[in-house]
Structure 1
Amino acid sequence: MALVHDHEEVSSHEEDMVEAFALLYHHVFSYIKPMALKCAVELGIPDAIHGRGGAATLADIAADTGVHEARLPDLRCLMKLLTTSGLFGATAAAVADGGGEAAAAYTLTAASSLVVGPRGLSNIVRFGDGPVSLSPFFDMPAWLRTAPAPEAPKSLFELTHGRSRWDPANADDETMNGAAFAESRLLIEAVLGGHGDVFRRLTSLVDVGGGHGSFAKAIAAAFPNVRCAVMDLPHVVADTPDAGGDVQFVAGDMFESIPPADAVLLKYVLHCWDDNNCVKILKHCKDAIPARDAGGKVIITEMVLGSGPRDTNVAETEEMHSLFLTCISGIGREEHEWKNIFTDAGFSDYKITPVMGPISVIEVYP
């Protein structure tokens, strides 16, 4: 019996229903894609393919990752999904697979290459697709039905976990910290590798909320003439393992004052705060820097929604990231929303330079 496609007898309504069911089911089961990716990362599949020179059969992958031979059909199903979704490639290899047929060889794509090796983004996958990040969204209906109150949790994350995303207790979460470190390292390489002119004419810079100083240290190494300092909360500075050297560490509160410098760097800081608090922070930044003709500016690294190519993947990624930010009481902003904040804080101009997808360097001038 053959499957009959009689296009003349299929009404436009039926076609719409087919597309509607496909879209609905795609959303219903879309959680399986990140779970499959997380599984592949935790098994070490990208590293196994990389270790085989960039191509590996199913048997190779199983041997290198410890997958039991009885689970090969399940592994094949996993790899088929990740290949269909573009995270891996597949080619016909001249390798006999039991019955003498050519076995599929799985290859890395640009996306899966990002999670290879100790410098990869595997911790972002583990954190973003792990229980700490996922569990708050089960409480989203209750959160949306709850009126804000002084005694109520300040974020969906806090409602679920009993503490804010920025609570010092999170310092013990290796996956969370590893994800932040991996993303920060990638951003540093992207900024300094292709957009180092942002720092070239500076003589001093203070990285506000700079943690243990990875960005400031990279800037100091690339531009020895720039005196770099990191300002963060006292408990962060106290826990810095290698304070000293080319970077000065200063304990402080950005809502009170910021040390003077040619430029203030805010890396992934402002998306954590509402507009009023962003204006307060930026006003202190403006007080800390000289006039524009003397080299003064604020350097911000943030996502600017709508600034990149607007294909479906980019658009959905931006909106998903924005929804995740609401989980931790953060905010995703479009250019006009950033402009309003800069204007309210007393700045005269700004320049946006995309550096990594929708993530941009924003230079804000007094």
Structure 2
Amino acid sequence: MSLKCVVDLGIPDAIHRRGGTATLADIATDTGVHPAKIADLRRLMELLSSSGMFTVTDGESSTAVYGLTTACRFLVGYLNLSPIVPFFVNPFVVSSFFSLCDWLKSEPETAGSLFELAHGHSLNVLNNSMVADNELFLEVIILDKGRIFRGLSSLVDVGGGSGAGARVIARAFPRMKCTVLDLPHVVEQATGGGDSNLQFVAGDMFESIPPANAVFLKNVLHEWSDEDCVKILQRCKEAIPTRNAGGKVIIVDMVRGSAYGDSKISEVEVLQNMFMMYVNGVERGERDWKNIFSDAGFGGDCKIMPILGPLSVIEIYP
């Protein structure tokens, strides 16, 4: 909630505009905090400094100067993750976990997801915050693992939403035909953004996927059970040519344990795995993924390439 507050106030941007450091008085002036609340602003900044979002010098003085850590710099600039913060503390999502005790005692068939038990209906409006996530991480993937897209003449981004991720790919590889597949009500609100090699198709990934050299799934499969993942991947396999003809499925998702003992990343993994309970999702390790790929009819050979923290790019082949 403190992080949401500083994002809502625009504190990271305010510090960034001042060259990377600012006093409490500077921050209050630039963000509209009432002068009588500066002591309370200090408490907010102390918490976020202790958790690694800001640096602080002369912290016991009224002249304390705050700066941006590497983590906080993800909240400023052209491609920033600040829109994601409100989603993780969205009242509907957070309040779902107040029903966790009842959900754990209930029959799976009757309770549905944790969100459904708490609110009586499914989560049917996914976050616009994923636009920021898609843009930033696709830029990183293209810079670090861009070879996975080279040589492809066509790609389908399954569950690609508004097309933020596919648009980054389409602009980086202008000769590639990019298609975004999503549900009709999502596609109706999407725009091509002027990219001639980007199109949107309304459909259901459980029914069929448009044919292409490759199918792209970013943060899709972790929202579904193993059985549903198998069904989705079977439709992916039907949509692509053989491996010899260049067919493959590209997955961007968490692979638990890939950081080999990094305690901070391990903490992120267990937190995210717990968080995904709100939609009956799950974060998986390498063995879990390989079992799913095998059940979906893919060969035993797969490539798992870590990119950021616990996130990896996975390539599988028919």
Quickly name the TM-score band, shorter chain normalised.
over 0.9
In the alignment, what sits opposite 2:51?
Answer: 85
* Greater alpha carbon shift after TM alignment, 38-47 vs 327-336: 38-47
Quote how far apart the aligned CAs of 1:274 are: 0.8
- Report the 3-state secondary structure (helix = DSSP H, G, I; strand = E; otherwise coil) of the residue aligned with 1:229: strand
In the alignment, what sits opposite 1:20?
Answer: none
Alignment of 1:78-117 (within 5 A): 78-92=44-58, 103-117=63-77
Q: Are residue 222 (structure 1) and residue 180 (structure 2) matched?
A: no
Contact 2:175 2:197 in 1 (8 A): no
- Report the 3-state secondary structure (helix = DSSP H, G, I; strand = E; otherwise coil) of the residue aligned with 1:114: helix
In the alignment, what sits opposite 2:235?
Answer: 284
- Report the 3-state secondary structure (helix = DSSP H, G, I; strand = E; otherwise coil) of the residue aligned with 1:48: helix
Alignment of 1:2-81 (within 5 A): 35-81=1-47
Contact 1:88 1:107 in 2 (8 A): yes
Identify the match of residue 136 of structure 2 among 178, 183, 186. Answer: 186
Q: Structure 1 residues 323, 248: closer, same or farther in 2, change over 3 A?
A: same
Identify the match of residue 361 of structure 1 among 305, 313, 316. Answer: 313
Quote how far apart the aligned CAs of 1:57 are: 0.8
Hey, what's the Cα distance between the residues in 2 that align with 1:209 and 1:51? Answer: 36
Identify the match of residue 84 of structure 2 among 124, 127, 133. Answer: 124
Contact 2:156 2:179 in 1 (8 A): yes
Hey, what's the Cα distance between the residues in 2 that align with 1:181 and 1:329? Answer: 22
Q: Structure 1 residues 208, 102: closer, same or farther in 2, change over 3 A?
A: closer
Quote how far apart the aligned CAs of 1:278 are: 0.8
Contact 2:248 2:315 in 1 (8 A): yes
Q: Are residue 265 (structure 1) and residue 231 (structure 2) matched?
A: no
The number of residues matched between the two structures is 316
In the alignment, what sits opposite 1:15?
Answer: none
Contact 2:157 2:179 in 1 (8 A): yes
1:330-355 deviation digits (Å, cap 9, x = unpaired): 11100100000001111111101111
1:343 partner amino acid: S
Q: Are residue 318 (structure 1) and residue 284 (structure 2) matched?
A: no
- Report the 3-state secondary structure (helix = DSSP H, G, I; strand = E; otherwise coil) of the residue aligned with 1:360: strand
- Report the 3-state secondary structure (helix = DSSP H, G, I; strand = E; otherwise coil) of the residue aligned with 1:200: coil
- Give the % identical residues: 54
Contact 2:103 2:111 in 1 (8 A): no
* Greater alpha carbon shift after TM alignment, 243-252 vs 66-75: 243-252
1:7-58 deviation digits (Å, cap 9, x = unpaired): xxxxxxxxxxxxxxxxxxxxxxxxxxxx222222222211111111101011
1:164 partner amino acid: S
Hey, what's the Cα distance between the residues in 1 that align with 2:199 and 2:10? Answer: 39
Alignment of 1:103-252 (within 5 A): 103-117=63-77, 119-149=79-109, 152-165=110-123, 167=124, 170=125, 176-177=127-128, 179-242=129-192, 245-252=196-203
Contact 2:192 2:199 in 1 (8 A): no
1:129-158 deviation digits (Å, cap 9, x = unpaired): 231221111111111111123xx3420111
Gaps of 5+ in 2: none
1:307 partner amino acid: S
Q: What RMSD over aligned residues (CA atoms) do the two structures have, in Å?
A: 2.0
Quote how far apart the aligned CAs of 1:238 are: 2.5
Larger radius of gyration: 1
Gaps of 5+ in 1: 1-34
- Report the 3-state secondary structure (helix = DSSP H, G, I; strand = E; otherwise coil) of the residue aligned with 2:106: coil
Quote how far apart the aligned CAs of 1:92 are: 4.2
In the alignment, what sits opposite 1:16?
Answer: none
- Report the 3-state secondary structure (helix = DSSP H, G, I; strand = E; otherwise coil) of the residue aligned with 1:41: helix
Q: Are residue 342 (structure 1) and residue 293 (structure 2) matched?
A: yes
Contact 1:217 1:246 in 2 (8 A): no
Contact 2:192 2:200 in 1 (8 A): no
- Report the 3-state secondary structure (helix = DSSP H, G, I; strand = E; otherwise coil) of the residue aligned with 2:208: coil
Hey, what's the Cα distance between the residues in 2 that align with 1:254 and 1:209? Answer: 8
Hey, what's the Cα distance between the residues in 2 that align with 1:37 and 1:144? Answer: 30
